[in-house]
Amino acid sequence: MKTAIFAHRGSKSNRPENTLSAFEEAMHVGSDGIELDVHLTKDQEVVVMHDEKVNRTTNAKGQIKSFTVNDLKELDAGSWFSPQFRGERVPTLKEVLDLLSDFPGVLNVEFKTDHNVYPGIEEKVVRLIDLYRSNLPVVYSSFNHESLIRMKHIDPSADVALLLWERLADPWRYTEQVGASAQHLWEASALTETSAQLQEHGIKVRAWTVNKPKNMQRTFEMGIDAMITDYPEVALDLRKSFEEAKALRR
Ligand code: G3P
Ligand code: MG
């Protein structure tokens, strides 16, 4: 089994995160998966951004939930990263789904419900995916595990993954209790014996955010199911070399 490469917030290292440019680049380099973060606007539109506030990644200030989608669309979500990306907009989830119409990989939607509640966000996301890309494999993750439990109530077949910083004791028990198929574990927690324990119990492990080549290599050696990285192109190149070296040893 090859370690899958998921592009974190798109190709975050060389494009403004969570924008259509970042997702285009992630697809262009051949990422196996794309991770993005979702919030709700004041008028209940699902939009893609990491922080609760627009301050860091746009030219304005304030909470996403206090902007209407039209107001949010006025903002520049690219200049903060580089003048080359001036005019890049904050995407709605629908726009991302349109962009991913031919994407053969997996979409990882992270519900950013750990600071703001966003009532109903889970249903809205499911409805959008059903409407615009119903055949797209989706993994739902969140640090707010209640969001994942809500997802399982909405759609018992939904693929959900616990986002965690820390390793748990008997980690498979809690994972099974929530109905999750995977743990998305902070890199330092994933690069331990916990990953093999989870995998022995049929639970997948995806490590985040793996950016150092040394740790990418370790992730391949350990047979971790996937890594979420800001550098998908680097990770894909390294994986190619790793797989070629492995084939030669056979
Ligand atoms: O889903 C992995 C990773 O994105 C979790 O942290 O803060 O980058 O959303 P964050
Ligand atoms: Mg995230």
> What are the pLDDT digits (tens) for 188-225?
999 999 999 999 999 999 999 999 999 999 999 999 99
On average, the pLDDT of the chain sits at 97
How does pLDDT run across 154-172, given as a tens digit for each residue? 999 999 999 999 999 999 9
Q: Does a structural domain hold residue 175?
A: yes
Of all residues in the chain, what percent carry a pLDDT higher than 90? 98
Report helix, strand or coil for 215: helix
The whole-model pTM stands at 0.98
Residue among 177, 154, 170, 100 nearest 162 (CA): 177
**Is 15's pLDDT higher than 90?**
yes
> Residue 138 to residues 35, 104, 115, 134, 229: CA-CA distances in angstroms?
10, 11, 23, 9, 18
Of all residues in the chain, what percent carry a pLDDT higher than 70? 100
Q: What is the DSSP string of 143-212?
A: S-HHHHHHHHHH-TT-EEEEEESSPPSSHHHHHHHHT-SEEEEEHHHHSSHHHHHHHHTT-EEEEE---S
Domain count for the chain: 1
Q: Does a structural domain hold residue 57?
A: no
**Is 115's pLDDT higher than 90?**
yes
Q: Does a structural domain hold residue 237?
A: yes
The DSSP code for 83 is: G
CATH number at residue 18: 3.20.20.190
Options 8, 39, 145, 184, the catalytic residue: 8
Residue 184 falls in the annotated catalytic set: no
Ligand 1 contact via 208 beta carbon (within 6 Å): yes
Per DSSP bridges, beta strands 46-48 and 33-40 are: antiparallel
**Is 250's pLDDT higher than 90?**
no
Q: Does a structural domain hold residue 228?
A: yes
- Residue 24 belongs to what domain range? 4-40+107-249
Q: Does a structural domain hold residue 20?
A: yes
- pLDDT, residue 74, reads 98
Ligand 1 contact via 184 beta carbon (within 6 Å): yes
Q: Does a structural domain hold residue 112?
A: yes
**Is 108's pLDDT higher than 90?**
yes
**Is 61's pLDDT higher than 90?**
yes
CA atoms within 13 A on the CB side of 112: 19
Q: Does a structural domain hold residue 18?
A: yes
Q: Does a structural domain hold residue 177?
A: yes
- pLDDT, residue 228, reads 99
Residue 50 falls in the annotated catalytic set: yes
